Amino acid sequence: MNINVTRSSLPPFEEYIEEIRKLWESHWLTNMGIEHKTLQAELEQFLECPHVVLYTNGHLALENVIAAMGFPAGSEVITTPFTFASTTHAIVRNGLIPVFCDVERIKEIADRYGLKVIYDAAHAFAVKYKGVPSANFGDASMFSFHATKVFNTIEGGCVCFKDDALVSTMNDMKNFGIRGTERVVFVGGNAKMSEFQAAMGLCNLRHINEELAKRKAVMERYFSHLSGVEGIKLCPPQKDVEPNYAYFPVVFDGFGADRDEVFQKLKENDIGARKYFYPITNSFECYADLPTAGAEKTPVAKYLADRVLTLPMYADLALEDVDRICEIILSLKK
């Protein structure tokens, strides 16, 4: 039996069917219907954030919030290359220039120069720092609700922010700039979340605490096997942080077998792991002409990308399978 690096969480089948039953009654399938409005309100409450705007996917949400900030064309945006392609692509597709810096330096730079900060918080749903949900940090935060995330709406995403003035702009951008049947005020696109996506979100949100508890148990089982092993570096619990157990990254450095060898051995045993994030975005061919391109210019990010492997992590992963995964890994120690 194959074990994938992640697997989508689903509510009980009957619960989803009951949730979408009303769509057959109303025939309202998109364009901010009752499911959309209800999910938006419930997320604003759950994330303790005044404004949540829903999108059909996280990437378009990120593109739109960057555009909404009104940066002049050709402006430079400081970002980390240790991320998924979407982060950098969203910057470039807005006509802006990514300036790659090493991890753990962005907030320091922003505070020093009074810059706006947009968090690509795609993986950080339900995370809290000192009791404050991650949706409240920076000028805006984008969350992905892709099928593989801790919380999913099949596909989807949202932008969270506090600035009242951004609400109309974000809504204009995702719905062609249409305000009413005879008024178009903005050159917007189409990035609306459908009612079926929102219905899945409403169901999954009811079970989010169960999801987190199951993921926590998987994480603890990994730690019981792999913590304290020479050559294996794990992410320790962070002070004042309530995690969501989205991924289980492991850094292999001095283990004997390197990251790629561990990846291959797991693959031979039908176990999917992922080199995440690899390669880092400043080494992409499409960015070769940028002044700050080149992985060697961000050595910390390159170090991590060359050594990190995310192991299977999802709510329904059997603890016995975690045992087997760790047994295979530890058999490679030299």
For residue 275, pLDDT over 80 is answered with yes
Which two tokens mark 268? 């031979």
Residue 99 placed within a domain: no
Pair 176, 285 in one domain: no
Q: Give the mean model confidence (pLDDT) for residues 299-323.
A: 97
Which two tokens mark 86? 């979407």
Domain boundary, last residue among 148, 176, 206: 206
Domain boundary, last residue among 154, 174, 206: 206
Pair 189, 270 in one domain: no
The residue whose two tokens read 């009980």 is 12
Q: Give the mean model confidence (pLDDT) for residues 49-62.
A: 98
Residues of 197-209 as b/e, b for ≥16 C-beta within 10 angstroms? bbbbbbbbbebbe
- Percentage of the residues of the chain whose pLDDT score is greater than 90: 94
For strands 232-234 and 157-161, give the pairing: unpaired
Model pLDDT for residues 169-202, shown as the tens digit of each residue: 999 999 999 998 899 999 999 999 999 999 999 9
Domain encompassing residue 249: 209-330
Domain boundary, last residue among 173, 206, 239: 206
Pair 180, 291 in one domain: no
Q: What pLDDT, on the 0 to 100 scale, is given for residue 106? A: 72
CA angle, 171 then 172 then 178, to 5°: 120
Q: Is 265 exposed, middle or buried (0-12, 13-18, 19+ CB in 10 A)?
A: middle
Question: For the ranges 50-64, 90-104, 301-315, which has the lowest average pLDDT?
Answer: 90-104
Distance CA 298, CA 311 (A): 25
Q: What pLDDT, on the 0 to 100 scale, is given for residue 1? A: 65
Give every strand in the sheet of 118-120, ordered side by side: 51-55, 157-161, 140-144, 118-120
Count how many domains the chain has: 2
Pair 148, 65 in one domain: yes
Model pLDDT for residues 277-290, shown as the tens digit of each residue: 999 999 999 999 99
Residue 94 placed within a domain: no
Hey, what amino acid is at 274?
R
Q: Give the mean model confidence (pLDDT) for residues 197-214.
A: 98
Q: Give the mean model confidence (pLDDT) for residues 261-281.
A: 97
Instruction: Give the long-range contacts of residues 275-280, CB within 8 A, separation 24 or more.
Output: 275/305, 275/308, 275/309, 275/310, 276/247, 276/249, 276/308, 276/309, 276/310, 277/82, 277/83, 277/84, 277/305, 277/308, 278/305, 278/306, 278/308, 279/305, 280/81, 280/82, 280/83, 280/305
Pair 127, 198 in one domain: yes
Distance CA 122, CA 76 (A): 22
CATH assignment of the domain containing 141? 3.40.640.10
Per-residue CA distances from 167 to 12, 170, 172, 231, 246 (Å): 34, 5, 9, 48, 29
Q: What pLDDT, on the 0 to 100 scale, is given for residue 108? A: 80
Task: Calculate the dihedral angle through the C-alpha atoms of 64, 68, 70, 71, rounding to the nearest 10 degrees.
Answer: -40
Pair 156, 22 in one domain: yes
Pair 223, 243 in one domain: yes
Residues 6+ apart with CB under 8 A from 326: 222, 225, 226
Pair 169, 53 in one domain: yes
Residue 60 placed within a domain: yes
Residue 187 placed within a domain: yes
Distance CA 90, CA 284 (A): 14
For residue 244, pLDDT over 70 is answered with yes
Model pLDDT for residues 121-148, shown as the tens digit of each residue: 999 999 999 999 999 999 999 999 999 9
Pair 181, 249 in one domain: no
* Contact between 39 and 202 (Cβ < 8 Å): yes
Q: Give the mean model confidence (pLDDT) for residues 14-31.
A: 97
Residue 8 placed within a domain: no
Pair 185, 132 in one domain: yes
Model pLDDT for residues 68-102, shown as the tens digit of each residue: 999 999 999 999 999 999 999 999 999 999 999 88
Q: What pLDDT, on the 0 to 100 scale, is given for residue 110? A: 85
Residue 93 placed within a domain: no
Pair 251, 229 in one domain: yes
Structure confidence at residue 109 as a pLDDT band (50, 70, 90) = confident
- Which of the 8 DSSP states describes residue 251? E
* Contact between 279 and 295 (Cβ < 8 Å): yes
- Which of the 8 DSSP states describes residue 13? H
Pair 202, 214 in one domain: no
CATH assignment of the domain containing 320? 3.90.1150.10
Model pLDDT for residues 228-242, shown as the tens digit of each residue: 999 999 999 999 999
Distance CA 191, CA 65 (A): 12
Q: Would you mind telling me the total number of residues written for the chain in this entry?
A: 334
For residue 208, pLDDT over 90 is answered with yes
Q: What pLDDT, on the 0 to 100 scale, is given for residue 107? A: 76
Q: What pLDDT, on the 0 to 100 scale, is given for residue 131? A: 97
Q: What pLDDT, on the 0 to 100 scale, is given for residue 248? A: 98
Residue 131 placed within a domain: yes
Residue 44 placed within a domain: yes
For residue 321, pLDDT over 80 is answered with yes
Q: What pLDDT, on the 0 to 100 scale, is given for residue 88? A: 98
Q: Is 147 exposed, middle or buried (0-12, 13-18, 19+ CB in 10 A)?
A: middle
